[in-house]
Amino acid sequence: VQILLKLWRNGFSLDDGELRSYSDPTNAQFLESVKRGEIPVELQRIVHGGQVNLHMEDHQEQEYVKPRLRFKAFSGEGQKLGSLTPEIVSTPSSPEEEEKSILNAPVLIDDSMPATKIQIRLADGSRLIQRFNQTHRIKDIRDFIIQSRPAFATTDFVLVTTFPNKELTDESLTLQEADILNTVILQQLK
């Protein structure tokens, strides 16, 4: 996190924020931590153990002047209307059902290697949750679906990621190479 500390004649400011008085005990403690080369407690809460780059500017010959706000043409957030994939309405399975699908899993897991959980939302509205090793291939997900739901053995379907929507066409890729660790995969009928 980049933070700019500006020292003024009548106080200091952080990242063009409000003026903070030198006489306030909390602010004095903040500056004392900076002088000792420590991360102030206030900044530790912001960065959650990350790295802080604190830059300082000396304006002690000047009085604090509130900075003008920069104009932003659009600062809201966008909303997507419609969907490229059909909405799948299903009742969430209970934890017992999830455990049952994992326990009855026809997928062999090597516990000495990194693993991931993949949730598969099937075209019939149900879902499967299965542990795989990161070295399993997309083809293994397809095989798992067919073993779990034999009705799909004769059905032509594709596997698609949820966001961004991307069809998983190269089934020889590992789950790690396809960047689908701990994700939701959709089954779409052709």
* Chain segment 9-31, per-residue pLDDT in tens: 999 998 888 999 999 999 999 99
Domain boundary among 40, 58, 76: 58
Beta pairing, strands 127-133 & 115-121: antiparallel
pTM of the model: 0.46
Q: Is the pLDDT of residue 162 over 80?
A: yes
Q: Residue 165 in contact with residue 84, Cβ under 8 Å? A: yes
Distance CA 170, CA 142 (A): 12
Domain assignment present for 171? yes
- Domain range for 159 is 115-189
Tell which wins on pLDDT, 67 or 179.
Answer: 179
Domain boundary among 42, 58, 74: 58
Residue 61: DSSP 8-state: T
Predicted local distance difference test score (pLDDT) of residue 153: 85
